Amino acid sequence: MIRMSGKDSFKVLEKIFKPKNKSNKIKGYTIKYGNIVENGEIVDEVLVSYFKAPKSYTTEDMCEINSHGGNIIVRKILELCLQNGAELAEPGEFTKRAFLNGRIDLLQAESVIDVIHAKSEREAKTGIKQLEGILSKKIAEIKQNILDVMVNIEVAIDYPEYDVDEVTHQQIMEMLDQVEEKLAKLEKSFDNGKLIKDGIKTAIIGKPNAGKSSLLNAILKEERAIVTEYEGTTRDTIEEFVTIHGIPLKIIDTAGIRQAKDEVEKIGIAKSKEIAKEADLIIAILDSTKEITHEDREILELAKSKNTIIVLNKIDLKSILKSDNMQLQKVTKHIINLSALNGIGLENLYDEICKLFQLNEINLDNETVITNIRHKNLISKAIENVKKTKETIKNEMPLDIVAIFIKEVLEDLGNITGELVSEDIINEIFAKFCLGK
Ligand code: GDP
């Protein structure tokens, strides 16, 4: 598909497209059937969709030529467009125009990238919510709160004879506290947002023969799992990104876990320790047909300080280790029975992960989550500036000084939605897009 946007896009189209039905004038949200022609010769039979300004993605006149596809034909049509006055778009240019023309704010534009690159349903959903403007509304609300503070201050500055300083100071403090609280909540949501975006970094640890590779294979074999492999951060590891029932997991696999068939090669405690260090989630797997061994205890010790789920494996056999075991209970309340060999109990494992990371739908739907590090940094900066503002008030600085810091907060928030953002940053953001978006 070839997409054109801009006030001359229909003119360019007219030169190369001969619709079958010539009589109708151009209407928005319609599709015409016809041929792309060059010197009277048909290049391809196409459908063209029309979007009339301002009701289009970019708010400009837009059209989309749907050809039969294939490199040669699409390239040919693109060339014809260029020869007849069109210019090649830069990466992200359509979305950039939508932003510059004021249809969406910067935050929404950035979420377009998130939606496109989403690796899991949950991530896509978060992106869509941001695209809908949920986060933008939240930021707008906080900005309004700050503006209210400004109004109070300006009244005090403009009418000093009323001696409103006392009252105003206290009022302003309270308002700033509220703003800080809202911002802090957003800042904190980043942790959750990051998990959704990057996947929960998961380490499967356990002594040799506990069933690590069997469990990993069982997870990866899940019908709907989409597996993408990344090079891991530790030497010899790869990370496998899987999404199971919308739960994004990034499982740290050592050069070993999946392949280690050979007894000698099996992943030992030392390696487990290394893997566990960088994990958000530890799945500590124990062989339920055996008593807890010294090695198990070392594994459990590792797991104590982390988000851990204990898996009692091999329940298809006669198990002697039960979930009410006190030694296990001391480590975590999240203990499940499972058979990696035949997949029994996997659902419970997923449920437990959802619980541990509060990933259920209700949480996601009600929370405004930030996933973008640029937004996170600006929010942190805004919080700093709110703190500074409060400091100046505490130190009874003149209100015009206080106002300076408040303006900084407004600026930080404005940078998120893009009202105040510099051209460099805008270019940097849109450079991340792919062509045609
Ligand atoms: P690892 O060394 O921790 O990776 O353990 P493996 O996954 O290689 O499993 C060790 C052995 O236990 C293999 O022979 C597996 O087939 C077996 N095994 C693993 N999980 C189960 C299970 O749930 N039930 C039974 N019966 N055997 C299992």
The pLDDT tens digits of the residues spanning 119-131 come to: 777 788 888 888 8
Measured distance CA(111)–CA(38) in Å, rounded: 39
Of 228 and 331, which is predicted with more confidence? 331
Quick one: average pLDDT of 278-293? 93
Measured distance CA(292)–CA(437) in Å, rounded: 56
Q: Of the given ranges (160-164, 240-244, 260-264, 333-337), which has the lowest mean pLDDT? A: 260-264
Whose CA is closest to atom 26 on ligand 1? 314
- Length of the chain, in residues: 437
pLDDT in tens, 21-74: 876 688 999 999 999 999 999 999 999 999 999 999 999 999 999 999 888 999
Ligand 1 in contact with 266 (CB < 6 A)? yes
Ligand 1 in contact with 213 (CB < 6 A)? yes
What are the tokens at 113? 């990238």
Quick one: average pLDDT of 261-282? 72
Whose CA is closest to atom 16 on ligand 1? 341
What are the tokens at 240? 């496998």
Phi-psi region of 327 (alpha: psi -120 to 50; beta: other; left: phi over 0): alpha
pLDDT for residue 166: 56
pLDDT for residue 191: 82
Nearest atom of ligand 1 to the alpha carbon of 317: 26
Measured distance CA(303)–CA(286) in Å, rounded: 12
Quick one: average pLDDT of 277-288? 92
H-helix or E-strand spanning residue 428: helix 423-431
Q: Please name which of 291, 293, 241 lies closest in space to residue 269, comparing C-alpha atoms.
A: 293
Of 121 and 182, which is predicted with more confidence? 182
Nearest atom of ligand 1 to the alpha carbon of 267: 2
Phi-psi region of 59 (alpha: psi -120 to 50; beta: other; left: phi over 0): left
Q: Of the given ranges (25-34, 353-362, 397-406), which has the lowest mean pLDDT? A: 353-362
Whose CA is closest to atom 22 on ligand 1? 314
Q: Please name which of 53, 37, 39, 45 lies closest in space to residue 4, comparing C-alpha atoms.
A: 53
What are the tokens at 195? 């998990």
Phi-psi region of 118 (alpha: psi -120 to 50; beta: other; left: phi over 0): beta
pLDDT for residue 243: 81
Quick one: average pLDDT of 169-176? 86
Reported as a pLDDT band with limits 50, 70 and 90, residue 416 is very high
pLDDT for residue 425: 76
pLDDT for residue 264: 46
Give yes or no for a contact between 231 and 238, defined as CB atoms under 8 angstroms apart.
yes
* pLDDT value at 290 more than 90: yes
Nearest atom of ligand 1 to the alpha carbon of 216: 7
pLDDT for residue 223: 52
pLDDT in tens, 98-108: 999 999 999 99
Q: Of the given ranges (73-82, 94-103, 182-191, 256-265), which has the lowest mean pLDDT? A: 256-265
Cα-Cα-Cα-Cα dihedral sign, residues 383, 384, 390, 394: positive
Reported as a pLDDT band with limits 50, 70 and 90, residue 224 is low
Sheet hosting strand 228-231, strand order edge to edge: 228-231, 237-244, 247-254, 200-205, 281-287, 307-313, 335-337
| Residues ≥6 apart with Cβ < 8 Å to 423 | none
Q: Of the given ranges (9-18, 132-141, 153-162), which has the lowest mean pLDDT? A: 153-162
Ligand 1 in contact with 340 (CB < 6 A)? yes
Ligand 1 in contact with 210 (CB < 6 A)? yes
pLDDT for residue 217: 86
Helix (H, G, I), strand (E, B) or coil at 245: coil
Helix (H) and strand (E) counts in the chain = 16, 12
Measured distance CA(407)–CA(405) in Å, rounded: 5
| Centre of ligand 1 from the C-alpha of residue 314, in Å | 7
pLDDT in tens, 183-215: 999 998 888 788 878 889 999 988 888 888 889
Ligand 1 in contact with 435 (CB < 6 A)? no
* pLDDT value at 216 more than 90: no
| Centre of ligand 1 from the C-alpha of residue 346, in Å | 15
Whose CA is closest to atom 11 on ligand 1? 209
What are the tokens at 138? 């939240």
H-helix or E-strand spanning residue 254: strand 247-254
Ligand 1 in contact with 207 (CB < 6 A)? no
- DSSP-derived letter for residue 259 is T
Of 75 and 192, which is predicted with more confidence? 75
**Above pLDDT 70, what percent of the chain?**
88
pLDDT for residue 316: 95
Q: Interhelix angle for 106-117 vs 134-158, to 10°?
A: 160
Give yes or no for a contact between 108 and 131, defined as CB atoms under 8 angstroms apart.
yes
pLDDT for residue 431: 78
Reported as a pLDDT band with limits 50, 70 and 90, residue 326 is very high
What is the average pLDDT score of the chain?
A: 86
For tokens 């015409």, the residue is 32
Amino acid at 254: T
| Centre of ligand 1 from the C-alpha of residue 200, in Å | 24
Which of 205, 209, 342 has most ligand 1 atoms within 8 Å of its beta carbon, as the pocket-test mutant?
A: 209
